Structure formats: C-alpha cells, structure tokens
Amino acid sequence: MIGSPVQFRDVTKVFGETVALKAFNLDVASGEFVTLLGASGSGKSTALNILAGFSDATSGDVFIDNKSMAGVPSERRNVGMVFQSFALFPHLTVADNVAYPLKMRRCPSDEIKRKVGEALELVQLSALAGRKPMALSGGQRQRVALARAVVFEPPVLLMDECLSALDLKLREELQREIRSIQRNLGVTVVFVTHDQTEALTMSDRIAILEGGKIVQIDTPERLYDRPRTRFVADFIGQSNTFDIVPGPNGTVGVPDLGVDIPLHGNAVAIALRPERLRLVDGPARPGEIVFDGHVEDETFFGPVVARSVRLRTGRLLEIRSARSGHGLEPAPVGPISLGFYPADVAPLAAD
C-alpha cells in the first residue's frame, strides 16, 4: 500500500451563522501521520468530514493524490475511515464486517478471503473471525473497525476520535499498534483527537486548530519545545507563561520572576516548561538564571513529582522533577531557589 498526498486549499465551511473552517489550508505528505488537534468546536472534525466526503465545503477544495474531490461522493474517494463509535454491523461476524468493503467493490471471493485473513492477522484477531461484535471487548471492536478500514488498501486513512471511548491502558496499547500498522502499510493518515498526549505519541506532525484555523503545525517535539503563542504553550502540556518587558542590551525583564534574560525578536511573553526548572541547593551553574519562591503544594504522579511554587508577586508556577531512588523526596519547606537556562525559554508571539 502506498500513501497519497492530501491537500486542503482555502476550505471554508459555514453552518448558518457559524463559521466552522476559515480559509483552511493543509498539506499532508504521502505516508505521513498528521493529527488535527483542538478543543471542541475548533473545526477538526469538520475538516475530516469534508475530506471524507460526508460534508461539502462552502468554498475551497480538497485534493487526494493531486486530484480534486469536488463533486466526488464519499464512496468513490478511496479512503478508509475509523469512527469513534466503531460502526460495526452487529448481525455480521468479525470476518464479514471486515469483508464488507471488498464485497461492495465486487472483489472475487478468493481475494476477499485472502485479504480478510491478512487484515485480521494485522490486528491480531484471526482467532475471533467467527464472533459477532457484541461478543468482543471495546478494544477488539476497534481493531475490527481498523481492519475493515484498511482491508481494501486505501492510500488515505481517516480516524475521528477513534480511541476516546477506551480506557487509558487499552488506548495506549492501540496507539502503539495503530502507529506500527501505519508505518508498515505506508498509508497516509489524518487523525482527529482532542487528547494532546495521544497526538504527541502518534504523530509525525500536529496541526493545532483554534476557531477554524491552524494556529501552528509542527513536529511533536517542536510544538512542545517551541510553541509560538501563549495559546499553543497552554494547550500542549503544562507550561508556565510570563509577560515580559523590554530590557537593556538585548534582554527582556520578567517581572514575575524578578530577572532579566537575553532574548531577541518580537516576543510578548515567554513559556517555561515545568521540567525545565530545577531546585538550586547550591551555587548557580554557569549561565543559569536563578530566582526565589516558596513551595505551597506537592502532587505525586508516580515517576514525577509536581510542586506548586508561590513567587514574590503572588503568582503560582509549577515545577516537575523526576523522582530519584525508590522513595518520595520530601518537599522543601520555606524559601527555595529555582534555576533555568536561557535556552529553556520559548519566546511567544501575540495570539
């Protein structure tokens, strides 16, 4: 299976007085796994439905394999779709559910048998081919839905919140399996979720949507380490954001921290990830910027300890530290010092 490129070109979608997508543009390379991430109402599912052919764009166009999909019905777009609700036929067996797209394409019976067997082996359900969906667990039903979506070898696979109904451990297991299957098949995936951890785990690139537009699209690593705006910094992971003021000689002041840092450009704020801050219990390291605070609370997350620190201005920030040894380190009582490096700072432009 070889993936096909996908493009959105100036796609706008209006429902009554609501603009769900505004001149939406996106390029997905062949074989790439791109996630549309955003809050409810951001436009991510609307974009996916337009690509699938379930909804028409008010203006603009989408392309699959460099061919316009304007006027092409969903059944002729040659895309696989995995839904949140599984959408399996309850009266059909697992094998018959998976075979359905092939039968609709009038494939020969021997080809159907072979491809269904391969698809079920791919999702590790060969032994359950004769069962009905109601006899399966939620994770097994989602695997059936995945097998049905890829059995006819579509070059593009669309996935809409398809793991959100599963419990955490099963969701994490299927995240790994879906990513592995996608890499093995080389299929192009457009994945929709509101779960930031899911997006970071699975994607080649993530497009963050707000108000029907992409506000930043980047690799998971760059989105996390270098968010461009306060919205992105707050949306992806935990972040401490601070307003800044101009300082002398290529520096800016951070009033909440009472320090100056070297920073060039047109940033209006900065972001510091909680794990980039460290407890300073001795002399500052070369180049380190140090400020003071007071620990107020501590939260245990297994391998990580989070602490809430009150600054001199009354502002709270969070630090996160990996646990050392087998015990839980006690929280410091009273004043503490925290340090970071200028390279740890992400400059933020205006939203």
17-72 confidence digits (pLDDT tens): 999 999 999 999 999 999 999 999 999 999 999 999 999 999 999 999 999 999 99
CA angle 217, 220, 225 (to 5 degrees): 95
Identify the DSSP state of 105. T
Annotated domain spans of the chain: 6-227, 232-348
- Kindly indicate whether the domain formed by 232-348 is annotated with CATH number 2.40.50.140: yes
Q: What are 291's two structure tokens? A: 């400020």
Position 162 scores a pLDDT of 87
Position 87 scores a pLDDT of 85
Distance CA 22, CA 201 (A): 28
Closest CA to 135 of 87, 95, 170, 93: 93
Q: Is 54 helix (H, G, I), strand (E, B) or coil?
A: coil
Closest CA to 301 of 262, 266, 270, 274: 274
Tally the C-alpha atoms within 13 A of residue 85's C-alpha that lie toward its C-beta.
4
Burial (CB count <10 Å: 0-12, 13-18, 19+), residue 346: buried
Position 289 scores a pLDDT of 96
Question: Which one is the CATH code of 6-227: 3.40.50.300, 2.60.40.10, 3.40.50.1820, 3.30.750.24?
Answer: 3.40.50.300
- How confident is the prediction for the chain on average, in pLDDT? 92
Q: What are 113's two structure tokens? A: 């048998």
Distance CA 175, CA 10 (A): 31
> What residues contact residue 190 under an 8 Å CB cut-off, 6+ apart?
6, 28, 34, 35, 36, 48, 51, 156, 157, 158, 159
69-122 pLDDT, tens digit each: 999 999 899 999 998 778 899 999 999 999 999 999 999 999 999 999 999 999
Distance CA 273, CA 225 (A): 8
> What residues contact residue 216 under an 8 Å CB cut-off, 6+ apart?
207, 208, 223, 227, 228, 229, 232
256-314 pLDDT, tens digit each: 999 999 998 889 999 999 999 998 988 889 999 999 999 998 888 888 888 899 999 99
User: At CB < 8 A and 24+ separation, what contacts does 293-298 make?
Assistant: 293/317, 293/335, 293/336, 293/337, 293/338, 294/334, 294/335, 294/336, 295/331, 295/332, 295/333, 295/336, 298/331
Position 166 scores a pLDDT of 81
CA 126 from chain center: how many Å?
30
Residue 182 pLDDT greater than 80, yes or no = yes
Identify the DSSP state of 134. G
